[in-house]
Structure 1
Amino acid sequence: MEIRGVVPGDRAELLALSSRAGAGSPTESIWGHPESEAAVYFTPYLELEPESLFVAVAGGQLVGYLAGCVDTAAFPSEEERMRAAISDHRLFTKRRPLMFFARAAVDAVRPGPKAGELEDPRYPAHLHINLVPAARGTGAADALMAHWFARLAEVGAPGCFLQTLVENPRAGAFFERAGFTDHGPTPLVPGLRYRGARVHQRTMVRDPR
């Protein structure tokens, strides 16, 4: 297993990987349109902050990645990225995304807090990490995290956060082992379903001190 930074020649393989990494998890597909999902949760990291993107390579193939951002406030917000993806990919004309947004509208009127990005100056950085099923349990995720923590130390980031799902206990246990702790409530994620049920956001933070 090799962990390294991204290089220009990785782009096509990385885009393909972003649509299949995470298979079997609650966020394997969010609204059923891989290209637009990548435009929100992967491509901006590749284009705007490639120095914070690390890949895992096994057998000459990319099997996982960690996409990071050292300053969330300086990065396009998830809401901005979502609006652009809806427009660029005409998602309201596609059946599966349309069903997702209809569910999200229904969920939005339910009482209680709703999922959103963390805004806390103590934890300015954030990350997304994904591996294909065959790479899980191989140490690739730990090695990707080690490279990310070295990146945070390099830039002097005071802390970082990530967001996973309550309904993904395996991911939560891994992040706990990596030094992350729970932060705040576990609000509903509008529109998203896993095995037919609503899911809830789990925000976790890590202080390098």
Structure 2
Amino acid sequence: MGDSYRTDRYKLRLLPGYYLGQALMTPPPQNLSRIRPAQPEDLETMGRVAYLTGFFGESAAVYFPSLSLFRDLWIKPYLYGAGMCNWLAELDGIVVGYIVGASDTQVYRQYFLRSAFEMLKNAMAGKYPGLVGCVPYLLRAAWYSNRRAPAELYPAHLHINLLPQARGFGLGHQLLEAHLNCLRARGVRGVQLSTTRENDRALKLYEKFGFEVYIEWRSPLWKPWLGREATHLTLVKDLRAQY
């Protein structure tokens, strides 16, 4: 599969009779859904889901032409040493969503330092088609960085994504519940996440689980692709308290 992903050029089967890029005409049977722990061998599938939802629930291709680089930056670290309590959501055996996270953000950052040389070799070997087109976003992301909550209070962080066709079946609730219970069982005291006001559905889910706004700010990060500034939020949850 090439990195110039478009749903009209490449159809990945979602369920029998349905494909990514098409709306589900009828809901799949509820007994076909499940969540399971994510494994390193799930990297490719998770990378595709991440890419298809990487722009406010839609494809990241609009600002990040390299699927493989997107995957290696934002999925691979969690599956290869920096992550904990990672889960997948499936419908009829097909991965349609995930939640990943790290219990210690410092460990996550150290992973990038260790893997920087490998990623540089991959880039020089041409393994990241579309790399040049990703530079504008990467530069803006470095300049307009996220504002984080104190790591001593909220050492863990998480990311959750579901394909549009898989939303509305309670899978997001199951993923988040499993992830938080896993962190809590391992003695992690708090968790944080970054999102925007664009993600209305996700914000309602986070509120239901007791996440609170730590900081909120306007950022021009997405303006070239969104056409306006976005309101960013850092949400936090004390895992010592039940939701």
Shorter-normalised TM range = 0.7 to 0.9
TM-score (norm 2): 0.69
Whether the 8 Å CA contact 1:160–1:206 is kept in 2: the answer is yes
State the superposition RMSD in angstroms. 3.3
Question: Kindly tell me: are residues 118 and 78 of structure 1, through their superposed partners in 2, closer, same or farther at Cα, counting changes over 3 Å?
Answer: farther
Unaligned runs of 5+ in 2: 1-32
Aligned pair 1:61/2:94, yes or no?
yes
Q: Does 1 or 2 have the higher relative contact order (CA < 8 Å, sep 6+)?
A: 1
Q: How far did 1:48 drift?
A: 1.3
Whether the 8 Å CA contact 2:77–2:83 is kept in 1: the answer is no
Whether the 8 Å CA contact 1:186–1:203 is kept in 2: the answer is no
Whether the 8 Å CA contact 2:105–2:156 is kept in 1: the answer is yes
Secondary structure in 1 aligned to 2:168?
coil
Other-structure match for 1:150: 181
How many positions carry a matched residue from both structures? 202
Q: How far did 1:5 drift?
A: 0.6
Aligned pair 1:44/2:77, yes or no?
yes
Other-structure match for 1:126: 157
Secondary structure in 2 aligned to 1:174?
helix
Cα offsets for 1:22-45 (capped at 9, x unmatched): 565278455332221222211100
Question: Kindly tell me: are residues 100 and 119 of structure 1, through their superposed partners in 2, closer, same or farther at Cα, counting changes over 3 Å?
Answer: same
Question: Kindly tell me: are residues 185 and 50 of structure 1, through their superposed partners in 2, closer, same or farther at Cα, counting changes over 3 Å?
Answer: closer
Secondary structure in 2 aligned to 1:52?
coil
Aligned pair 1:11/2:11, yes or no?
no
- What CA distance in whole angstroms lies between the structure 1 residues aligned with 2:218 and 2:56? 22
Aligned residue identity for 2:190: G
Aligned pair 1:188/2:219, yes or no?
yes
Q: How far did 1:67 drift?
A: 0.5
- Greater mean alpha carbon deviation, residues 1-10 or residues 62-71: 1-10
Secondary structure in 1 aligned to 2:183?
helix
Q: How far did 1:194 drift?
A: 4.5
Cα offsets for 1:15-74 (capped at 9, x unmatched): 333322456527845533222122221110011156521001111101110001111122
Other-structure match for 1:89: 123
Unaligned runs of 5+ in 1: none
- What CA distance in whole angstroms lies between the structure 1 residues aligned with 2:170 and 2:206? 13
TM-score (norm 1): 0.79
Q: How far did 1:130 drift?
A: 0.6
- Determine what percentage of the aligned residue pairs are the same residue: 24
Whether the 8 Å CA contact 2:149–2:236 is kept in 1: the answer is no
Whether the 8 Å CA contact 1:39–1:85 is kept in 2: the answer is no
